[in-house]
């Protein structure tokens, strides 16, 4: 099984940076995903890490440390539209995705 932990809520101001941490325990790690989900909608893919290190994609970056069972999603130059839930998901060798409970990010003007 797996145990995925991430903070419940975070608040930041427009233009700022926010870092969402995720810790996990899994028996067969095969990649870590970050998804963005707006209320009432399906998740949309943000990033994927399978090797240690930082993956940068525009305003969003994701970091992974497999030995520590740790990842973070970094959101830079926050915009109001970034207010959403951010889901950390761990993929196992059978390609099943297990999701954390999600972090609700609120961006204030």
Partner 1 sequence: GAVVSQHPSWVICKSGTSVKIECRSLDFQATTMFWYRQFPKQSLMLMATSNEGSKATYEQGVEKDKFLINHASLTLSTLTVTSAHPEDSSFYICSARTGNTIYFGEGSWLTVV
Contact set with partner 1 (CB under 8 A): 31, 33, 40-45, 87, 91, 94-102
Q: How far does the chain reach from its first CA to its final CA, in angstroms?
A: 40
Shortest spacing between CB 88 and partner 1, in angstroms: 9
Cβ-based nearer residue to partner 1, 9 or 77: 9
Shortest spacing between CB 30 and partner 1, in angstroms: 9
Distances (CA, A) of 82 to 10, 18, 22: 12, 11, 18
**Residue positions counted in the chain:** 109
Cβ-based nearer residue to partner 1, 18 or 90: 90
């Amino acid at each position: 099984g797996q145990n995925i932990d991430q903070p419940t809520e975070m608040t930041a101001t427009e233009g700022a940076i926010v870092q969402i941490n995720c810790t996990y325990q899994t028996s067969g790690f095969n990649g870590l995903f970050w998804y963005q989900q707006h209320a009432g909608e399906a998740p949309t893919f943000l990033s994927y890490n399978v090797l240690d290190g930082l993956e940068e994609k525009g305003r969003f970056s994701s970091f992974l440390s497999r030995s520590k069972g740790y990842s973070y999603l970094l959101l830079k130059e926050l915009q109001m539209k970034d207010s959403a839930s951010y889901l950390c998901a761990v993929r196992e060798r059978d390609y099943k995705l297990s999701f954390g409970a999600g972090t609700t990010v609120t961006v204030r003007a």
